[in-house]
């Protein structure tokens, strides 16, 4: 959508200027007149995109949504109107994609659309959970409370995501360093030693010949190796983007030793926290399960929750079909059953979510503690094998000189 910069005069004669996202100049004029502002000059902004404007640098993260909800709640709770909230947020938001989107939402609300209807036009930016919760808040008249709950929800989600990323930083850096060291030894150090041994006429041991072959392949076909890796990554992403591929990979995640327990805990945390947030905001259970199934982040669990939704629609309680899935820990089933019997399912689920948040943190810490020494040992074995392969010919040369 084009951006138009305008100069105008207010009803009291004050000169102002600003900009709008609109489809035409006439649309800008109409929006200004609604605010009793009279345009003097309107020009379309035409400019080249900076590299920082590329979408890859402006990806909207969970943290951005959490900040958006928290600021929106703060202003609503202080008596600021929705239109004014959006105007403030679109002006102070740093993420350029979110800033542009909020500008469009602001204009849509000015034209008479509700906030939830405006957000629905940008489902690629705003999560479906947030859109449905805003709609529920508009119907019940407690949008500020909903925004507060959404802020808490996304702040916890962002906290979990950060812990997962932080847990993976060390293994990733160590892996990169290991690869660089191994490639350097094979392509720079190894050939120097081997050429010296070959000139002496000594026969090279089998490990040395194997490494020499690997070294020659890397030096001669490095561009093909990099191309092949990029192709494999591309094909994996394409396969994972398909329904069949995502279902298979997500099913595989739940079977990987050690990792499967962590993934189940993360899924359980998201399920209980999201369902608790929805139920406490007055969303019906059937609709809540439909929304939750799309945010758990695993296709197998999503399909299972759809089955649960159908069972609940037929009149069953929630605990029984959840138990049949065998995807969540027994504790979750017990807590859901207690919540249904006591009539406080949302509160019980919230406490369960807090428990599994701590479980995820502990599991990540244990996993990191396990991975670090394991990777160091693997790296030591690989580099040790390379060093031994370079040293072995030296012993052969010494033995040849002695005899």
| DSSP string covering 129-181 | HHHHHHHHHHHHT-HHHHHHHHHHHHHHHHHHHHHHHHHHHHHHHHHHHHHHH
Contact 37, 43 (CB under 8 A): no
Q: Kindly report the CA angle at 81 between 75 and 87, in degrees rounded to 5? A: 80
Place of tokens 């079977």: 255
pTM: 0.70
Equal CATH topology for 58-155 and 169-402: yes
Going from the C-alpha of 26 to that of each of 33, 105, 121, 162, the distances in angstroms are 11, 19, 22, 46
The domain locations on the chain are 1-43, 58-155, 169-402
pLDDT at 235: 93
Stretches where the chain sits below pLDDT 70 are 1-2, 23-24, 46-58, 194, 197-203, 395-403
Q: Which of 348, 258, 267 is nearest to 303 (CA)?
A: 267
Contact 215, 185 (CB under 8 A): no
Question: What are φ and ψ of residue 60, in 5° steps?
Answer: -80, 120
Helix (H) / strand (E) element for 353: namely helix 345-402
Q: What secondary structure letter does DSSP report for 186?
A: I
Topology of domain 169-402, per CATH? Answer: Receptor-associated Protein (1.20.81)
Region class of 39: left (phi > 0), else alpha (psi between -120 and 50), else beta: beta
pLDDT at 388: 82
Determine whether 49 is exposed, middle or buried from the number of CB atoms within 10 Å of its CB (0-12, 13-18, 19+).
exposed
Going from the C-alpha of 261 to that of each of 212, 266, 294, 303, 364, the distances in angstroms are 42, 9, 21, 19, 11
pLDDT at 401: 52
Alpha-helix runs per DSSP H in 281-344: 285-293, 299-313, 319-325, 330-342
From CA 10, how far away is CA 15, in angstroms rounded? 6
Topology of domain 58-155, per CATH? Answer: Receptor-associated Protein (1.20.81)
Determine whether 144 is exposed, middle or buried from the number of CB atoms within 10 Å of its CB (0-12, 13-18, 19+).
middle
| Secondary structure (DSSP) of 242-285 | SHHHHHHHHHHHTTSTTHHHHHHHHHHHHHHHHHHHHHHTT--H
Q: What secondary structure letter does DSSP report for 296?
A: S
CB contact set of 219 (below 8 Å; sequence gap of 6+): 187, 191
Quote the radius of gyration of the chain (alpha carbons, Å).
30
pLDDT at 51: 44
CB contact set of 248 (below 8 Å; sequence gap of 6+): none
Region class of 125: left (phi > 0), else alpha (psi between -120 and 50), else beta: alpha
pLDDT at 52: 47
Q: Which of 63, 150, 127, 172 is nearest to 297 (CA)?
A: 127
Other Cβ atoms within 10 Å of 371 Cβ, number:
16
pLDDT at 338: 92
pLDDT at 335: 92
Q: Which of 235, 233, 267, 237 is nearest to 251 (CA)?
A: 267
Helix (H) / strand (E) element for 39: namely strand 37-45
pLDDT at 228: 93
pLDDT at 365: 82
């Amino acid at each position: 959508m084009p951006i138009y910069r305008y100069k105008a005069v207010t009803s009291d004669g004050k000169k102002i200027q600003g900009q709008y996202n609109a489809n035409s100049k006439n649309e800008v004029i109409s929006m200004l007149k609604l605010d009793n502002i009279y345009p003097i000059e309107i020009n379309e902004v035409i400019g080249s995109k900076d590299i920082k404007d590329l979408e890859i640098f402006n990806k909207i993260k969970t943290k951005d949504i959490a900040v958006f909800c928290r600021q929106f709640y703060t202003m609503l709770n202080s008596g600021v109107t929705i239109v004014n909230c959006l105007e403030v947020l679109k002006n102070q938001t740093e993420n350029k994609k979110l800033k542009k989107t909020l500008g469009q939402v602001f204009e849509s609300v000015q034209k008479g659309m509700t906030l939830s209807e405006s957000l629905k036009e940008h489902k690629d930016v705003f999560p479906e959970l947030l859109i449905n919760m805003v709609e529920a808040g508009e119907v019940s008249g407690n949008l500020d409370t909903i925004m507060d709950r959404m802020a808490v929800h996304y702040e916890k989600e962002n906290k979990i995501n950060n812990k997962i990323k932080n847990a993976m930083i060390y293994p990733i850096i160590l892996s990169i360093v290991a690869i660089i060291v191994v490639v350097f030894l094979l392509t720079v150090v190894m050939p120097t030693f081997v050429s010296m041994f070959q000139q002496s006429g000594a026969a090279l041991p089998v490990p040395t010949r194997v490494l020499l072959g690997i070294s020659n392949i890397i030096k001669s076909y490095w561009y093909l190796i990099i191309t092949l890796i990029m192709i494999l990554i591309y094909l994996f992403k394409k396969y994972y983007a398909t329904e069949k591929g995502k279902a298979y990979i997500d099913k595989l995640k739940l079977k990987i030793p050690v990792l499967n327990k962590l993934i189940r805990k993360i899924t359980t945390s998201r399920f209980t926290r999201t369902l608790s947030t929805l139920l406490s905001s007055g969303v019906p259970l059937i609709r809540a399960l439909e929304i939750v199934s799309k945010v758990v982040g695993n296709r197998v669990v999503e399909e299972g929750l759809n089955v649960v939704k159908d069972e609940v629609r037929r009149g069953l309680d929630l605990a029984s079909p959840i138990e049949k899935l065998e995807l969540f820990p027994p504790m979750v089933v017990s807590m859901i059953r207690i919540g249904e019997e006591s009539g406080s399912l949302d509160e019980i689920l919230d406490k369960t979510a807090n428990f599994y948040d701590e479980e995820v943190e502990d599991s990540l810490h244990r996993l990191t503690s396990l991975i670090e020494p394991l990777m160091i040992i693997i790296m030591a074995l690989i580099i040790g094998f390379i060093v031994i392969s370079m040293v072995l010919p030296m012993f052969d040369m010494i033995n040849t000189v002695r005899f």
